[in-house]
Amino acid sequence: MLDQLNKYEENDHFFFQPTDNLAEVCNAPTDKAGVYVIHELARGKVRLIYIGMSGQKNKDGSIKIRKAGYGGMKDRIVNGHQFGKILRKKSWPIQMLKEDIEALDVYWYVTFSEEHHDFPRDVERELLELHMDIYGQLPKWNKEV
């Protein structure tokens, strides 16, 4: 399902456990925009549970990259809100314990660069729609397309 992400050469991933410091283990760039895909490792299975993005399209067609906190995708992953108005660095460990998730495997892809001009929101929407087409629902941590 995620084959279309293979074209983005600038990518990586990291593991996050509930006892980790998210800011320390997150290796996403602080000056780039793109998408991230999260898989849970729970009860011996791996499952995609969230598709997110960082970076907005400006009115002039340029990319707006987060400047606050760490900046870029890293800041969106670490300090973005999820499960209410709680920062991910706090909400993820709580949610993982509630759902008995051992670890998260977070893959990130720079979609807007000198080589690629794919706006993160467009890529995220395409991935979510594909997930809906295949599984009939969004990943469990996503709320809407």
The answer to the question of residue 116 being in a domain is: yes
Residue 69, pLDDT score: 66
pLDDT tens figures, 40-53: 999 999 999 999 99
Of residues 58, 69, 86, 63, the one with CA closest to residue 30: 69
Q: What is the reported pTM?
A: 0.92
Considering only CA atoms, give the Rg of the chain: 15
Determine the structural domain holding residue 129 and report its residue range: 3-135
What percent of the chain lies above the pLDDT cut of 70?
97
Confirm whether 16 is domain-assigned: yes
SS3 79: helix
Could you write out the DSSP letters of every residue in 14-76?
EEE-TTS-HHHH----SS-EEEEEEEEEETTEEEEEEEEEE-EE-TTS-EE---STT-HHHHH
Quote the number of domains for the chain: 1
